[in-house]
Amino acid sequence: MIRNCNQKFFIGNSIVAILILHFIFLPIEGNAQTVVKIGSKKFTESVILGEIATQLAKSEQFSARHKAELGGTRVLWNALNNGEIDVYPEYSGTLRQEILANREVAGFSSVISYLDSLGIIAIGPLGFNNTYALGALQETAQKYDLKKISDLSKYPQLIFGFTNEFMDRGDGWPSLRRAYGLPQKDVRGLDHDLAYRALENGSLDVIDLYSTDAEIKYYNLLILQDDLHHFPEYEAYFLVRKELLKAAPEFIQALKKLTGRIDALKMSALNAQAKLEKIPAAQVAAQFLKSTFQLEQNYKKEALWGRIWQRTKEHLFLVLVSLSLAILISIPLGVLAAKIKTGGSIILGIAGIIQTIPSLAILVFMIPLLGIGAQPAMMALFLYSLLPIIRNTFSGIKDIPTPIFESAIALGLSHFDRLRFVEIPLATRSILAGIKTAAVINIGTATLGALIGAGGFGQPILTGIRLDSTALILEGAVPAALLALFVQGGFDVLERVLIRHK
Amino acid sequence: MITLQNVSFSYPSEAILTNFNLSLKRGTTTILIGPSGCGKSTILRLINRLIIPGSGAILIAGQRVTENNIQSLRLNMGYVIQEGGLFPNMTARQNISLMARRLAWPEEKISKRLEDLASLTHFPVDNLNRFPSQLSGGQRQRVSLMRALMLDPEILLLDEPFGALDPLIRLGLHESMREIFNRLKKTVVMVSHDLHEAAFLGDEIILMNKGKIIQTGPIETLIKTPAQKFVSDFIRAQRSHLPEVEND
């Protein structure tokens, strides 16, 4: 019959496709056995500690999954409380200054008892104090004769670059500035791994450091003495959900053996292996466990193509599910917006507002609702895909010339038939363009999903930024770009198939 | 056949028709003519309920047109507009037969009807499989006319159907149209701003200005006994386009 009924099959097919992909891509959840879920933050030390815990769990014959590089403290803390992860490495200072910032906690013992009330135990300390510090290049230090943090107050022109967490945590920049009376106005928030590069090329004069950072030695940085003892201790612990005491007691015992076994020098050395010698974190952890506990780990490095295939599956899963849902919802909404007089601008307005929310913010908003992993990422991507499709459906229908629009009415076609035979087919080009835009935005934005544990091409990019490895960044960026191009080409072909008329 | 009783229609900024009355006889061809903005197209759009009157009633064959019965009434009302309003995503054949298919006509009946219409409108059958963009302007209007005639409606509403065509093609279409109108005896209401066209096709001409009927009658009456100075002015303005006063 009429060619453009194709539309329906197109949508129907995409649902089937999602279901199939769902089965292919969803990892088969482990058997009844306990799966220990370990999280880590997106800096190298945390990833190494997470990897050590993961390998310890495996050596005790548990299934273990390491969700590495999950954004910042809040993401991990919420994930731990929701039971989406069982274990992650955390610092005493962070617990007091950030997580429990609004509570009066006298000593660390009261922190422990508060954690206990939440069903969390702290195992450690591991033996090193990774506190905050401020650092500068030796030549900057000599130029201004900087030795202590208080020396900074004499040079308001110095440019500071701090990690985003440091910018507003309890012991971070606001209180540091008050404590030392620092006059600097030019203070930028940025990623910790990028800060070293900015320091090196002279865009920044002073940055915050973690005292076990491998780069301190590598760049030969001067650590400014905390002469007013502003920074608290940052001793490392593993935060563990109590359920594991019953479910995996052997693993808890193994973790406890780590107490006091990693001193500052050791930790710096492990960080240096990963960051400077580019040894994968899993291998660093394996070597540590071997030398410390004579634990043999059968660590195997995944081949490049295997990794890329895995990332592609994760990425496609995020994009396809979110985009398909967005298509199913947005086309009817766009039609509705075009058909109803007043409500139309409301629909477009709401979709427009969603679009203006920064993608990182939307990802983090989703965590309390959907936890970490693929679901919140898909939800965020879904929300982002709405506007281009709704808007293009709306304008595609609105742009149908009045004579055609009115002819369809005058012919006696019902509302539904007008949509089916005239309006939707004529809006198809515009709708496809909207879907194409949404898909390309979606593929790009999905790389941020790695920050909340959704995997995809964002994972190697995150690791690449962390390890200053262009090769790794490209390993994520190139496939993502290729995928975007491929999808764009696919839509061009689809357009030619669906629209024969001029 | 078609009656407008005290019909008023206005846009937010201006009133188009106020307490307008009109009655059209079955089987006649009536041409609504007048300067642009005089309300002639509004009348067609009101009859088809593309727009809804602010007050008053529209009756078709004695039945008042309402939101509930308009869908079935439209099936008895062919409608052709200036640009044809053909659906660009469908071939000529699909355009013409769309409504018949929605009404589940048997395939043979559709084919037969298409053949008849093509010969009636002098449209080459081979071109039925072309998309509107692949047809000439005149052919497009013929397709548009076929679409309007497909269900064999009693009423034919034509809104400046020749407006966008060049004069030679226009002439050819005029002749086809007159033949069709004479043969089918439909109740035709056509909007035009061209007196020549009106004289050639219309049994009766209704000359309008600013939402009012100025004079009604055959072209000869309008020429010989103009009701107002406006009538003679309007005729004089178009006279150069008239070949000679027609006799038939």
DSSP A291: H
Closest alpha carbon to A437 in A393, A497, A478, A496: A393
Same domain for A458 and A332: yes
What are the φ/ψ torsions at residue A100 (nearest 5 degrees)? Answer: -105, 30
CATH number at residue A478: 1.10.3720.10
pLDDT tens readout for residues A318-332 = 999 999 999 999 999
The domain spans of chain B are 2-76+153-241, 83-152
| pLDDT recorded at residue A22 | 47
What is the rounded CA–CA span in Å between residue A430 and residue A394? 9
Nearest CB to A412 within list B75, B81, B85 = B75
B51 in reach of chain A (CB within 8 A): no
Taking CB atoms and an 8 Å cutoff, what residues of chain A touch B88?
404, 426, 501-502
Q: Return the pLDDT at B243.
A: 53
Residues in chain B with CB shorter than 8 Å from the CB of A407 are 79, 81, 84-87
pLDDT tens profile B95-146: 999 999 999 999 999 999 999 999 888 899 999 999 999 998 889 988 999 9
Same domain? For A362 and A439 the reply is yes
Does A485 share its domain with A361? yes
Q: Tell me the C-alpha distance between A276 and A270, whole Å.
A: 10
Residue of chain B whose alpha carbon sits nearest to that of A426: B89
Quick check: is A298 in a domain? no
Interface mutation vs chain B, best among A407, A418, A498, A502, most B CBs within 10 Å: A407
**What ipTM, to 2 d.p.?**
0.90
Rounded Cα distance, A451 and A476, in Å: 14
Looking at the predicted structure, is the pLDDT value of residue B242 above 60?
no
pLDDT score, position A138: 92
* CA gap A403, B12 in Å, rounded: 22
Residue B50 with chain A: CB contacts under 8 Å: 406, 409-410
Q: Is residue A456 part of a domain?
A: yes
The total number of structural domains in chain A stands at: 3
Instruction: Decide if A425 and B89 are in contact by the 8 Å CB cutoff.
Output: yes
Residue A229 lies in a domain: no
Q: What is the pLDDT of residue A236?
A: 94
Q: Is B79 within 8 Å of chain A by CB?
A: yes
Residues A163/A195, Cβ–Cβ less than 8 Å: yes
Q: Is A137 in the same domain as A264? A: no
Token code pair at residue A172: 């971070």
Distance from CA of B130 to the nearest CA of A (A): 10
Q: Which two tokens stand for residue B233?
A: 């002015």
**Chain A contact present for B82, CB below 8 A:** yes
- The size of the A-B interface in CB pairs under 8 A is 75
Read off the pTM. Answer: 0.77
According to CATH, the topology of domain B2-76+153-241 is Rossmann fold (3.40.50)
The dihedral built from the CA positions of residue A421, A424, A430 and A431, taken in this order, carries a sign that is negative
What CA–CA distance (Å, rounded) separates B1 from A455? Answer: 71
- Residues with pLDDT less than 50, chain A: 1-12, 18, 20-32
Distance, in Å, from the CA atom of A59 to the CA atom of A43, rounded to the nearest integer, reads 24
Query: Residue A338: which residues within 8 A CB-CB, separation 6 or more?
Result: A344, A393, A394, A397, A398
A381 occurs within a structural domain: yes
CA–CA min distance A278, chain B (Å): 59
Q: Give the CB-side neighbour count of residue B155, counting CA atoms within 13 A.
A: 23
The residue from A224, A243, A268 where one domain ends is A224
The shortest C-alpha distance from A411 to chain B (Å) reads 6
CATH value at residue A97: 3.40.190.10
Can you give the pLDDT at residue A26? 46
Tell me, what's the pLDDT at A39? 95
Instruction: Judge contact between B206 and B4, C-beta under 8 A.
Output: no
Partner residue facing B85 (CB), from A407, A426, A499: A407
Q: Taking CB atoms and an 8 Å limit, are A407 and B90 in contact across chains?
A: no
Q: What's the CATH code of the domain at A194?
A: 3.40.190.120
In terms of CA atoms, which chain A residue is nearest residue B129?
A: A501
- Residue A114: inside a domain: yes
Structural domain harbouring A390: 2-26+303-500
Compute the C-alpha angle A400/A404/A406, nearest 5°: 105
Cα separation of B114 and A355, whole Å? 51
Of all residues in chain A, the one with the smallest CA distance to B51 is A406
Tokens of A84: 């989406």
* Binary contact (A502, B131; C-beta < 8 A): yes
Distances (CA, A) of A252 to A50, A121, A122, A239: 14, 10, 11, 11
Residue A73 and residue A85 in one domain = yes
Say how many C-beta atoms besides its own lie within 10 A of residue A125's C-beta: 20
**What pLDDT, on a 0 to 100 scale, did the predictor assign at position A7?**
44
Q: Which of A293, A318, A336 is the last residue of a domain?
A: A293
Helix (H) or strand (E) holding A210: strand A206-210
